[in-house]
Every structure is written in C-alpha cells, then in structure tokens.
Structure 1
Amino acid sequence: MYCGRSGTGPFLTILLLCFWLVDLPSASANDYGWTEDKIGKLAVKADKAARKKRWNQAIHYGEKALEGSKVLYPEYSPLYINRLKTLNRYYDRANRLPEVSDHVKKAFRLSSAHLGPDHATSKVSRLLYYKLLLAEKDYPAAILLVKDTLARLGESDDDQFKRLHYLGQLYSFYGLTNQFELEEQTIRERLALNSLMVGEGLENNSDILLDLAKNLCTQKKYLEHDALVKVWGTNFICLRN
C-alpha cells in the first residue's frame, strides 16, 4: 500500500492511518468461528451417525470436530486426544483404518504420554494401533507392543489369563519373523502357565503342544520333537529333510 502525501487531506492524518493499517493484527485461528459449542454439536452429529452405522457420515462430522479441536486445544489436551481417538474408531468401523495411519499412531503416542496407559482413551488407542500394525503387517512393532502389554500385567488370575492370550500372540509374531528360538521359549512359557491356570494333560494343552511340535520340527530339533510326541501323543507329522 502506498502511504504518501495526498492533496485531499492533511498529511499527518493519512500518515497515522497508514500506521494503523500496517499494525492491524492478523486473523487469529479462532476467527473462523470455532467454539466448544460448535465442536460439541458436530460431535453429537457424528455420534448419531455412528449409532446408525453411517460410518462415512460419522467420519465427515468427526473430521470437522477434530479440526475445531485442533484450533481450540493443544495436542496434549484430553479433549483433543479424545476427539482424535473417536475419529480413528469411526475409520476402524468403516474398515478404513490404514487411511489414517498417522492419526492412529499419534493418538497412541499422545494418550500414552499424557493420559497414562490405564486411561480409557489410551486403551482404545492402543487397540487401534495394534489393529493397524496387523493390517500393515508390521510384526516387529507388534512384538514390542505385546511385550510392553505383558510387562504391565499383574499377578491376579484375571491378568494371568490375559497373559495367556498375549503370550499366544507373541509367539505367533516370533514365528512370522523367523525368530524360532524365541518362539519356542514363549510357547513353553505359555504351556507352563496354561497347565497351571487351566490344567495339565493333552485335553487342556493340545493346541499349544501342537504349536511346540511344529516349532521343534522347523528348528530340526528332531530328538526333542520325538520326545514331545512320545510323552504327549501330539498328532503332528514332522517331515524331515
């Protein structure tokens, strides 16, 4: 803008006007009209669409609600993290979770760091992150996540049954990544725990024993495999090279 002497008015008045125009503040983020009430209404619309399983519509409103939350709240805010988690759930229900891979990882990271692992939002974010890792076949990252989950379990019966479940996942991932010695160790750990919590005998441990037999065969530990079959009578034929 040109600010110079004008013949239509006093020079001082024009000069002050120029300074005033230059010093005008730039539009703030909230000049776009975001308020908590507006975000809340969008969230309600998203929730109504989700209850009717209209996932694409829920995603549309959820995206808008997240956009407003990003303006009003810092990323470490529980309100922002919750909106992000909720939007990720909509994508999951629509079978579109890989489309928001970065959002899923971000929700897991933020919720773990700022809400703690036992918060409801953190648990959902953790589950969605796990599902994403499986969809992307990122088994090394899945191993780390399962090991971290196992480390957080206590000694109650409920936690021990959860441990059985996660040990089964862990040794499957070891097998998928060709870490057969670690797979064997984890299978044996699960076998011991299952025998303690559920009961001994082939009828209570047949699936785990079958996995162990397959693992020993893969590692060419034929003597150990044969001993296992002799003791437990597992129905598995090991083809030997």
Structure 2
Amino acid sequence: MTQADSISKFESLILDSENAFKSGKWTQSIALGESALKACHLRLSVNNPRCIYIMKNNSLAYEQAGELIEHADKIERAYRVALLQFGPFHHFTIKTREVFYHLAVKQKRYSETIPIVIAIIHHERTNTNDELEILNKFIELYALYKKTNQVQYEVPTLESIATLTKKTMGADTDNYQQAVIALAECYCKQKNYKKFDILASRYSLDIKCD
C-alpha cells in the first residue's frame, strides 16, 4: 500500500466513524471510532486535535450506548487529554467533561466529581448564566460536600443556594424558606450563633439552636 493509499484509508475511516456518530448508530460509531482513534494515534499523536475530536465522539457514543462503566478508562482519558490540551472551556473539554461527570457519579467517585461540578458552574456563569441551572448544580455540590465530609464548604454553598433560590423562585416560596432553614441549621451546627440568630430573627424561624 502506498503512502497515499494509507492516508486515504485513514481519512475514509474517520469519515465513516463521523457518519455513524451523526446518524446515532452508536454500536457502529464505537467500533469505527475506536479503529479511527487507534489509526490516529499511530499516524499523528495522542494530543493531536483530530485524535481528541475522535475521543470526544467516542465518549459521547459510549454514553448514548449505555456503556459508561465498560469504557471508563477511555472516557476519563478523553477528558484529561482535552483539558490538558485545550483548557476547561473548549468545546471538546466541555463535552468530554459532561460524560466523565456522569461516569464519576455512577461510580460514586464523589471527591473527583466536586471539581467537575465547580467547573460546570463557572462555565454556566460565564456563558449562558442560567441561574436555575446554576442553582441545581450548587445543590448537587452541597450534597457532594456532605458525602465527602467537607464541612468547611457547606455554609458558603448553602449561602449561594439561598441567594439563587430567592432570585429564581422568590422570597415567598417554600423552596426559599427551606433554603433559609437549611442555612440556619448549618450556622448552628458550626456554632456560628451570631449568624444563626440574625437569620432566625429576620425570617421568624421556628427553630432553636442549643
């Protein structure tokens, strides 16, 4: 096979994998995508943008096919390589991060999930600034801090939740009342009695801090 034939075969393989991906033929997309990635690494390099593009498509195909766990190492590698080469806000990084996030949650890798959620919040704030979506991510973040016993981050996270709940849902809603109560209870637990008293008085909370 001549070099020209080899290049043509390589380009054809990439095109076939792209077409399968765009058509939603996930099993075919995975098979072709993995072959294309292997050829790309041999012809170019692991860090080449074309190879990372294939890795991104493969990660999305794994998720669509319901095969996150089966391809865990490849999904994590795709995210790490994209992050290293392009930084946190590139399209390839964002897409591979989303898949890795779902994988990490599924595997209960809570400590590793925290920086991903923080990155998603930052991206939302600097782009669409969808405050309801940001609120939901802060709620996830608070749950992760609880699961990993990172008590020092609970209060600032609950303060953000309360602020965003008030902005997105209103001060007269049950959701805001629940957010305020959760914040007051956290102040109490951490022995910040001054802030507890201020909050309890301001919102006439029927809770005690002993």
Calculate the TM-score normalised by the size of structure 2.
0.75
Note the residue ranges of structure 2 that are not aligned, 5 or more in a row. Answer: none
The 8 Å contact of residues 75 and 96 in structure 2, kept in 1 or not, is answered as yes
Q: For 1:63, which of 19, 22, 34 is the aligned residue?
A: 34
What is the one-letter code of the residue matched to 2:88?
A: P
1:193 aligns with 2:175: no
CA shift at 1:47, angstroms? 3.7
1:115 CA displacement: 1.7
Q: Alpha-carbon deviation of 1:32?
A: 10
Work out the percentage of aligned pairs sharing the same amino acid: 24
How far apart are the structure 2 equivalents of 1:155 and 1:58?
Answer: 33
User: Once the two structures are superposed, what CA deviation does each residue of 1:145-193 show, in whole Å capped at 9, x if it has no partner?
Assistant: 2234445665787265554233122101112223345334311222123
The question of whether the paired residues in 2 share the 8 Å contact of 1:34 and 1:72 is answered with no
**Amino acid across the alignment from 1:168:** I
Is residue 171–residue 177 contact of structure 2 (8 Å, CA) maintained in 1? Answer: no
Q: Which residue identity is paired with 1:118? A: F
Which stretches in structure 1 are left out of the alignment for 5+ residues?
A: 1-29
Q: Report if the CA contact (8 A) 1:88-1:104 is conserved.
A: yes
Counterpart position of 1:20: none
Q: Choose 160-169 or 83-92, whichever is displaced more.
A: 160-169
Paired position in structure 1 for 2:92: 121
* 2:116 counterpart of 1:135: no
Structure 1 partner of 2:203: 231
Q: 146-155 vs 126-135, which deviates more? A: 146-155
- In structure 2, relative to structure 1, the CA distance for the partners of 1:34 and 1:55 (3 Å cut) is farther
- Cα distance in structure 1, aligned partners of 2:116 and 2:5: 37
Cα deviations across residues 29-48 of structure 1 (Å, max 9, x unaligned)? x9999844323322333344
Match of 2:176 in 1: 205
Which position in structure 1 is the counterpart of 2:78?
A: 107
More helix by share: 2
The question of 1:97 aligning with 2:64 is answered: no
For 2:179 and 2:51, the matched residues in 1 are separated by: 43
Distance in 2, Cα, partners of 1:206 & 1:187: 12
- Higher Rg of the two aligned structures: 1
CA contact (8 A) 2:125 2:134 kept: no
